[in-house]
Amino acid sequence: MAIVNDILVFLSLVLFFRWCYDIYKKNRQLRHIPGPLPIPFIGVKLPRNIYEITHFFDGLIEQYGNTFKYYLGNTLVVATCDADLIQAIVQSSKHIQKSRLYDISRIWLKDGLIVSTGDKWRQRRKLLNPSFHVSILKEFFAVFKDNSNKIVASLEQEAAKEKPIDVGPFLAKFAADVIAESSFGSKLGIQEGHNPGYLESLDKVLKLISMRNFSLWKWNDMLYKLFAKEYSEQSRCIGIVDSVAQKIIENKREDIDPDSQTRMNTKKRSVLIEALMEHPDITNEDVHEEVNNFMFAGYDTTSTSLSFLLYELSRHQDIQEKLYQEIMFHIDGDIGNLDVERLQKMNYLDLVLKESLRHRTTVSAIERLITEDAKFGDTVYPSGTVFVILLHWLHNNPAYYDHPEKFDPERFNVENSSKRHRFAYIPFSAGPRNCIGQKYAILEVKTVIAKILFEFQILPVEGSELEVVSTGISKSNNGYPIKLQRRQ
Residue list for the binding site for heme: 435
Structural contact between residues 138 and 340, judged by C-beta atoms closer than 8 angstroms? yes
Rounded distance, CA 314 to CA 487, Å?
Answer: 14
- Residue 239, Cα to own-chain centre: how many angstroms? 22
Binding-site sequence positions: 435
